[in-house]
Amino acid sequence: MKIPRIIISGTSSRAGKTIISIGLMRALKNRGYEVQPFKIGPDFIDPSFHFFATGRNSRNLDSFMMSKKSILASFQKNARDADIAVIEGTMGLYDSHNAIDEKGSTAEVSKILKSPIVLVVNIERISRTTAAFVLGYKVFDKKVDIKGAILNRAGNPRHARKAKLAVEKLAELQVFGVIPRDKNIVIPERHLGLVPAYERENLETLFNALAEIVEEHLDVDKIIKAAEEAPELKEVKIKEKKKKKFNCKVGVIKDKVFTFYYIDNLEAIEELGGELVFIDSLRDKALPEVDALYIGGGFPEIFAKELERNSSLREDIYEFCNSSKPVYAECAGLMYLGEKIYTLEGEDYEMVGFLPLNTRMRKKFQALGYTIHEVIENNPISKRGEVLVGHEFHHSEPELLGKARFVFKVKRGKGIINGYDGMLKKNTLANYLHLHVLSHKKMMERFLSLAEKNKKHGRSG
């Protein structure tokens, strides 16, 4: 299967790969290309920008959480009707979940996809040293196909010329362009990384400005040529869609508060026969008629006052949870289902109050990284003895207010408390763990199965 593709990787985090990836995606779209975006790693925020830059849903490709076959299948399924795939890397090119192996790295995914790489290098305060830097990346792993470099944040034209010449002559790597330092083109950062796309009101202006910078300073034609030279991939057989198993409605709280959902998770619900009913936690005053509820991650601490103000919806959600209908909540969803959220400013706000915990915001990360959980009790998405691989990232610290039942034992990561995650009350499961359906393929099937079962038994919210 022939799919033109290119990975935009950085020498490190904050080298500029997200800005350049977005700019390249929009530049290609403006040229008339159908661009399929991807993001390596578990990140939720970058893919939301990719969507607005290209008009297509970005997919996560994560070699820690997903098998090689799942990565190839997802890539081929979603890129086959596109003209080109642009894949944004994660962290530095070779950064992985530990110091020795490459698991979870951009480099590993590049090998799985046989994809050429463009290396984004921050050249602030270096010139000739850039060549030594780039050469190290070239020789570190000869199986990684670095086609060229983009030098970012040049101080002036002389600096740009010196660094470019050094890389091309001493590291023997073509330079696709040099981008000058431009403090006006910045996406503000929030405590979990880049600001979610929901908060950007002027995305079109921003992305077109980035596209102009890319067109002005990079040789886009050479990047396209590198993408087109990517070798053919052996086609992975993608299972035909089965007849829809279920007939139920799944409420999804998705708004500017709760933004972190993998598109694959939502599509899995639909493929199984679930109808997605989107709910706004700030505007909707009542819970619609649904058979299950899915609450993803986000920033409830930023909107805690508004969430508290919408007491009628909170009461409906409490009654829904109490009715034993299935509810699955991750991170922000866990916080929302608790009693109170305490902000950094010391204010506290009432939440749904179904789960016996408060959460307090902290300035520093309380958990960040991949997780491995052992399932110790059956629950709405998994069965005892299974192992769940996911990730967690949050600044909130939980405080238990009474006895709680946990269904996940943490083998790697932090969880909620004392090495446990997955708080279960009736059929409400809430955890700090974020799961992707390609890492746990039965999760949505089990979730909908429980919803259907409850529906047949006449339980109502």
Inter-residue contact 125 to 45 (CB < 8 Å): no
Identify whether residues 195 and 254 lie together within a single domain: no
The pLDDT assigned to 238 comes to 77
Q: What is the pLDDT of residues 172-211, one digit of tens each?
A: 999 999 999 975 566 655 444 445 555 556 678 889 999 9
Identify whether residues 224 and 273 lie together within a single domain: no
The pLDDT assigned to 188 comes to 55
Identify whether residues 349 and 416 lie together within a single domain: yes
The secondary structure element, H or E, covering residue 213 is helix 203-217
Q: Which of 61, 149, 331, 443 is the catalytic position?
A: 331
- Cβ within 8 Å of residue 187, ≥6 positions away: 18, 19, 49, 194, 195, 200, 206
Per-residue three-class SS string for 78-130: HHCCCCEEEEEEEEECCCCCCCCCCCCCHHHHHHHHCCCEEEEEECCCCCCHH
| Residue in the structure block whose two tokens are 């409850």 | 454
Is there a domain that residue 235 lies in? no
The pLDDT assigned to 156 comes to 94
Identify whether residues 415 and 363 lie together within a single domain: yes
Identify whether residues 84 and 143 lie together within a single domain: yes
CATH number for 408 = 3.40.50.880
Inter-residue contact 287 to 461 (CB < 8 Å): yes
* CA 115 – CA 306 distance, rounded (Å): 45
The pLDDT assigned to 186 comes to 63
Pick from 167, 128, 125: which is nearest to 146 by CA? 167
Is there a domain that residue 240 lies in? no
Tens digit of each residue's pLDDT, the chain (461 residues)? 999 999 999 999 989 999 999 999 999 999 999 999 999 999 998 998 999 999 999 999 999 999 999 999 999 999 999 999 999 999 999 999 888 899 999 999 999 999 999 999 999 999 999 999 999 999 999 999 999 999 999 999 999 999 999 999 999 999 999 999 975 566 655 444 445 555 556 678 889 999 999 999 999 999 999 999 999 999 998 776 667 889 999 999 999 999 999 999 999 999 999 999 999 999 999 999 999 999 999 999 999 999 999 999 999 999 999 999 999 999 999 999 999 999 999 999 999 999 999 999 999 999 999 999 999 999 999 999 999 999 999 999 999 999 999 999 999 999 999 999 999 999 999 999 999 999 999 999 999 999 999 988 765 44
Pick from 321, 414, 410: which is nearest to 362 by CA? 414
Q: What is the pLDDT of residues 116-131, one digit of tens each?
A: 999 999 999 999 999 9
Is there a domain that residue 243 lies in? no
Pick from 365, 341, 330: which is nearest to 260 by CA? 330
Tokens standing for 256?
């500017």
Inter-residue contact 400 to 357 (CB < 8 Å): yes
* CA 28 – CA 214 distance, rounded (Å): 10
The pLDDT assigned to 336 comes to 99
Identify whether residues 90 and 173 lie together within a single domain: yes
Identify whether residues 298 and 414 lie together within a single domain: yes
The pLDDT assigned to 453 comes to 93
* CA 51 – CA 305 distance, rounded (Å): 29
* SS3 of residue 190 by DSSP: strand
Identify whether residues 132 and 271 lie together within a single domain: no
- Cβ within 8 Å of residue 75, ≥6 positions away: 3, 38, 59, 61, 85, 113, 233
What is the value of pTM for the model shown? 0.93
The residue out of 197, 228, 259 marking a domain boundary is 228
Inter-residue contact 307 to 336 (CB < 8 Å): yes
DSSP-assigned states of every residue in 387-399:
EEEEEEEE-EEEE
Q: How many domains does the chain have?
A: 2
* CA 434 – CA 414 distance, rounded (Å): 12
The residue out of 228, 259, 282 marking a domain boundary is 228
Written as one letter, the residue type at 256 is: K
Identify whether residues 159 and 69 lie together within a single domain: yes
The pLDDT assigned to 97 comes to 85
The residue out of 180, 197, 228 marking a domain boundary is 228
Going by the DSSP 8-state scheme, the letter that residue 280 receives in this structure is -
Is there a domain that residue 236 lies in? no
Is there a domain that residue 268 lies in? yes
Is there a domain that residue 406 lies in? yes
What distances in angstroms separate CA 103 from CA 97, 262, 434, one per listed residue? 6, 21, 18
CB-based burial label for 383 (10 Å; 0-12, 13-18, 19+) = exposed
* CA 319 – CA 18 distance, rounded (Å): 42
Identify whether residues 297 and 151 lie together within a single domain: no
Identify whether residues 186 and 74 lie together within a single domain: yes
Tokens standing for 115?
């994809």
Half-sphere exposure of 54 (CA within 13 A, CB side): 28
Which domain, by its residues, includes 25?
5-228
Is there a domain that residue 317 lies in? yes
* CA 91 – CA 97 distance, rounded (Å): 11
Is there a domain that residue 12 lies in? yes
Inter-residue contact 37 to 267 (CB < 8 Å): no
CATH number for 38 = 3.40.50.300
The alpha carbon of 5 is separated from its chain's Cα centroid by a whole number of angstroms, namely: 20
What distances in angstroms separate CA 136 from CA 97, 364, 400, one per listed residue? 20, 33, 49
Pick from 314, 401, 287: which is nearest to 355 by CA? 401
* CA 168 – CA 148 distance, rounded (Å): 9
* CA 414 – CA 419 distance, rounded (Å): 6
CA–CA–CA angle 175, 43, 265 (5° rounding)? 130
Identify whether residues 340 and 375 lie together within a single domain: yes
- Catalytic annotation present for 331: yes
